[in-house]
Chains A and B, each alone.
Chain A
Amino acid sequence: MPGADKNTDLSERIEAFLADLKRGGTGAGPLRGSAETARETTALLRRITAQARWSSAGDLMEIIRKEGRRMTAAQPSETTVGNMVRRVLKIIREEYARSRGSSEETDQQESLHKLLTSGGLSEENFRQHFPTLKANVIEAINELLTELEGTTYNIAMQALEHIHSNEVIMTIGRSRTVEDFLKDAARKRKFHVIVAECAPFCQGHKMATSLSQAEIETTVIPDAAIFAVMSRVNKVIIGTQTVLANGGLRAVNGTHTLALAAKHHSTPLIVCAPMFKLSPQVPYFPFSPSHSYEQRSVTHSLWWVRREILSKVNVYCPVFDYVPPELITLFISNIGGNAPSYIYRLMSELYHPEDHEL
């Protein structure tokens, strides 16, 4: 039966994607950037919408929620997967509401007034069947995909507004967004970049070679020298893995130190992050390692240790740092620049509150 073939084909693709996600996390497979992950997730969700069997919006949302839970469980630190799932769920809600004819704004926002006046009814069922819903949803997902493809370009376009000549810019580790940002500015302006190498994986080295090939004067410094050279730095521009709901960051380890040093010298800290990295997660305190931190293999930092010492020593190698929003000056995303205090508002436009927990 054609339906069964489609189903097996679909489930195969989903399994392949999950396996990829799991492998990418352990560092064994090819490292993929968040943008790629976001694109692939969205493409997969579009395929699910097109090929899975569903009759009403509610069914579709259930299916997507189920698959989304599996995908986020495969690689918890890769938050873009969950973000894309929530975006698609929001799209479905919007399209459903539009098909029903009611305006979207009144439905979504919960206000005290609404709670008092509505009094518990209007439990949206999403059970109504609309024939055009499928096509609409797929079209909306295509728009989302186009938006995803243009994020890096949109961010890089804003570079000249933020970088002037003869500046000294500091960055840490390797971020493709920041790389394109700086290369775009370098076409018109001359400035100097200092890259902190971010041990033990030293992604900063690759960033430095790539920037120097674009004719940008680059210097590589070890992580220990961040505070020492910060007094001569004009701006700090970093990328991040995730933007949290309170405006804080989950970024590569060493970023918190960098942010503190920048705060001490009153140097602006600019974060270049596309909107698909915005996640409704909040950091909860105390920030315990089992929840949000991840430990990579420590063999890189320990190859030199003799066995008798190794057995008596604990070694930690966290991958991410939490940076509180007070240390951040500006977010540059594909929709423009924002202060960290505005992030909650952007989030409410992207995701529906009921989708925060998948």
Chain B
Amino acid sequence: MADSGVTDGAEKKEDITRVKNEGKELSKEEKQRLRKEKKSQKKNKEKKDEQDALASEREKNCAPSTLSQPAAHKEPAASPPVQAAVSEPPAPAAGAPPADKPAKSKAELKAERRARQEAERASKPGKKGDPGPQSTAGKPKAPPSELQPVVKRLPEHVQVDNPEVLKKLAKKLERQQTPGRGAALKIPLRSDYGYKVSLFSHLHQYSRKAPLTQQLSIPSTVIHPVIVRLGLQYSQGIVAGSNARSVALLHAFKQVIRDYVTPPNEELSRDMVNKLKPYISFLNQCRPLSASMGNAIKYIKKEISNIPSQCKEEEAKTKLQDCIDRYIREKIVLAASAISKYAIEKISDGDVILVYGCSSLVNHILCEASEKHRKFRVIVVDSRPRLEGREALRRLVKHGISCTYVLISALSYVLPEVSKVFLGAHALLANGYVMSRVGTSQIALVAKAFNVPVLVCCETYKFCERVQTDSFVSNELDDPDDLMVTRKGKTQLEGWQQVSQLGLLNLVYDVTPPDFVDLVITDLGMIPCTSVPVVLRVKNVDQ
């Protein structure tokens, strides 16, 4: 078919070039056909190269006299067996096919090849490829079954110790550059910093003093400046906290959509998604994406690909911006109000509430509760090296709430007088574990030992389908230099890099087992930790 395709395609190409010159927009079928031709031509070119290589090999290996005749007019027919031979190791193939070939006919070989290609495609589940020359029009949709086998590809950021994965990432970043422009405009690969504790050698560890943006040339035509600024804000910790990061991301994407212009002969729904891919890789390099950001990106991509092709560009862009606004309003702002409403029912007068770090949602709840004239006081627990509790303290004191401030090591000292613990979450995993700032699990553990109820507040857009049982397999390592501290003019850990046996570990997240958590307050209501997969299923059915 590939052979016939070469002759057919030539005619079709003439049609298409004519249409292009006339400047009309191609219809969808023509565009699809054009893409198919491009793909098949590429494949032919590759095949021809391999064929040449193998043919020269074969001629070297076998006796030239016996095979010269059959080899010469086997060239066109040899292309199918060569392709079949490519999938097997070339060495035995070089010997076997020349003997087999005279026996099989052309049609049988074609069928063989097709079968092999289907088998290969079926064995690569994670790859989403455009329909190749073999498939019929339209992708066959996988029937939605009750127990869909999920074969996920392991994310790159937890395979840092695998050099092949790193090479693949580097190649992917190269491919995402504007073609033919040169190395200065591609997305750089960020390098790790410092000695990594061996338990975490599979994770990245970056230094805050070397942000990714230093390696970019300005102006960068690959990455929109709004995204560059966002990446810098993420990596320096200026925008921190999962809600803040998601909202900033969505606003940045809105700006990107506003500035987007559909290139000729491209569909908005496909091209925009492709344009977003390098931005997402860049942001991932600046700081690994959070679960909430991942869900937001999935939503945007779905909305973009659902844009009907006859929609005009301006209309489509306005529609997308409205979608984003609605997402922010529904999933973040309104959810926060709903959660406050439920949570305020749980706060009674005379309560002593313990909070940890700075969770925007928990702060919102407490401020609303104090506006509704509940009488309570708050104990803010903070921990090094981030010391985010300072921000929470500032916000609460501004609202006139009486506060106490302690470090996390004083937890056993304050807990006897605490009546409730309110915690925020970064993500809720499908097995009921709560992923949150490091130290949360400790608070839940000690609260359980003192019989103090622990309530976790989390919006549903942070629920994710991952499962995790400990804080090692998937985490984020922050800059280890943050642990250094100067007391009485002396920095004890200065020069820790030179000491070969010394390592500093600055974890960002940890997972809390569900038996420490008494209640999860979400915008759908108050649920136990184990009901998270139910909520996920309901969400998937809705969408």
A158 at the interface (CB under 8 A from B): no
Chain A residue, CB-CB nearest to B469 = A231
**Looking across the interface, which residue of chain B has its beta carbon closest to that of A216?**
B501
How many angstroms from the CA of A39 to the CA of B510 in the assembled complex? Answer: 45
| In the bound complex, CA of A314 to CA of B404 (Å) | 5
User: Counting CB contacts under 8 A, is A301 at the interface?
Assistant: yes
Across-interface contacts of A42 in B (CB, < 8 A): none
Contact of A312 among B397, B472, B503 (CB under 8 A): B397
B1 in the interface, Cβ–Cβ < 8 Å?
Answer: no
B393 touches A260 (CB 8 A): no
- Residues in B with CB closer than 8 Å to A95 are none
A313 touching B403 by the CB < 8 A rule?
yes
**Chain B, 140-156, contact with A by CB distance < 8 Å: what is the 0/1 string?**
00000000000000000
B328, CB-defined interface residue at 8 Å: no
User: Chain A residues with Cβ under 8 A from B247's Cβ?
Assistant: none
CB-defined contacts of A213 to chain B, threshold 8 Å: 499
How far does the Cβ of B174 sit from chain A's closest Cβ, in whole Å? 35
| Whole-angstrom distance between the Cβ of B391 and the nearest chain A Cβ | 11
Q: Does B492 lie within 8 Å of A205, measured CB to CB?
A: yes
Chain A residue, CB-CB nearest to B495: A209
For chains A and B in complex, what number of residue pairs have CB atoms within 8 angstroms? 161
Q: How far is the CB of B509 from chain A (nearest CB, A)?
A: 8
B385, B413, B442, B483: which contacts A226 (Cβ < 8 A)?
Answer: B442
B440 to chain A, nearest CB (A): 8
B107 to chain A, nearest CB (A): 61
- Bound CA span A300–B487, Å: 8
Cα–Cα distance between A300 and B488 once the two chains are bound (Å): 10
Beyond A253-B413, A315-B406, whether A224 also contacts B197 by CB under 8 A is no
Q: Does A321 contact B (CB under 8 A)?
A: yes
Q: 1/0 contact trace for A285-322 toward B, CB 8 Å?
A: 01101000100000011101100010011111110011
Query: CB-CB contacts of A25-60 with B at 8 A, as 1s and 0s?
Result: 000000000000000000000000000000000000
Q: When the two chains form their complex, are residues A321 and B404 in contact, meaning their CB atoms are under 8 A apart?
A: no
Known contacts being A225-B510, A228-B441, is A199 close to B407, with CB within 8 Å?
yes
Q: Residue B505 at the A interface, CB < 8 A?
A: yes
Which A residues are CB-close (under 8 A) to B97? none
Determine if B502 is an interface residue (Cβ-Cβ < 8 Å). Answer: yes
Q: Would you give the shortest CB distance from A262 to chain B, in whole angstroms?
A: 11
Distance (whole angstroms) from the CB of B477 to the closest CB of chain A: 11
Q: Which residue of the partner chain A has the closest CB to B491?
A: A205
Interface assignment of A7: CB less than 8 Å from any CB of chain B: no
Distance of A201 from chain B, by nearest CB (Å): 7
Most-contacted residue by chain A among B412, B471, B507 (CB, 10 A): B412
B413–A321 touching, CB < 8 Å: yes
Interface 1/0 per residue, A197-232 and B, CB below 8 Å: 111111001101101110111111111111111011
B445 touches A224 (CB 8 A): no
Alpha-carbon separation in the docked complex, A175 to B243 (Å): 42
Q: Is the pair A217, B501 in contact by a Cβ cutoff of 8 Å?
A: yes
Closest partner residue, chain A, to B449 (CB atom): A260
Q: How far is the CB of A118 from chain B (nearest CB, A)?
A: 44
Closest to B441 in A: A227
Give the shortest distance, in Å, between B54 (CB) and chain A (any CB). 51
Residues of A contacting B505 in the complex (Cβ-Cβ under 8 angstroms): 219-221, 225, 229
A153 to B471, CA, bound (A): 38
Closest to B499 in A: A212
**A327 nearest in chain B by CB position:** B449
B86 at interface by CB-CB < 8 Å? no
Contacts of A97 in B (CB 8 A): none
Q: Is the CB of A261 within 8 A of B404?
A: no
Contacts of A229 in B (CB 8 A): 199, 471, 505, 507
A254 at interface by CB-CB < 8 Å:
yes
Give the CA-CA distance A232 to B198 in the complex, in Å: 12
A215 contacts B414, C-beta separation under 8 Å: no
Given contacts A197-B384, A202-B487, contact A209 B493 (CB under 8 A): yes
Give bound CA distance, A176 to B505, whole Å: 23
| Max count, chain B CB within 10 A of own CB: residue among A198, A215, A309, A321 | A309
CB proximity of A168 to chain B, nearest CB, Å: 9
Q: Is A23 an interface residue (CB 8 A)?
A: no
With A200-B407, A222-B384 known as contacts, the answer to whether A316 contacts B445 (CB < 8 A) is: no
Flag B385-413 by CB within 8 Å of A: 1 or 0 each: 10100100110010000111111111111
B412 and A199 contacting across the interface, CB-CB below 8 Å: no
Identify which of residues 234-293 in chain B touch chain A, using a CB-to-CB cut-off of 8 Å. Answer: none
B424 contacts partner chain A, Cβ-Cβ < 8 Å: no
Measuring CB to CB, which residues of chain A are less than 8 angstroms from any residue of chain B?
197-202, 205-206, 208-209, 211-213, 215-229, 231-232, 253-254, 256-257, 260-261, 264, 286-287, 289, 293, 300-302, 304-305, 309, 312-318, 321-322
Known contacts A200-B407, A209-B499, A222-B438, then 12 further A-B pairs from the complex at CB < 8 Å, ordered by chain A residue: A202-B487, A216-B501, A220-B493, A224-B437, A224-B439, A261-B445, A302-B405, A309-B393, A312-B397, A314-B404, A316-B405, A316-B410
The 5 closest A-B pairs by CB, nearest first: A224-B439, A254-B409, A224-B383, A205-B492, A228-B510
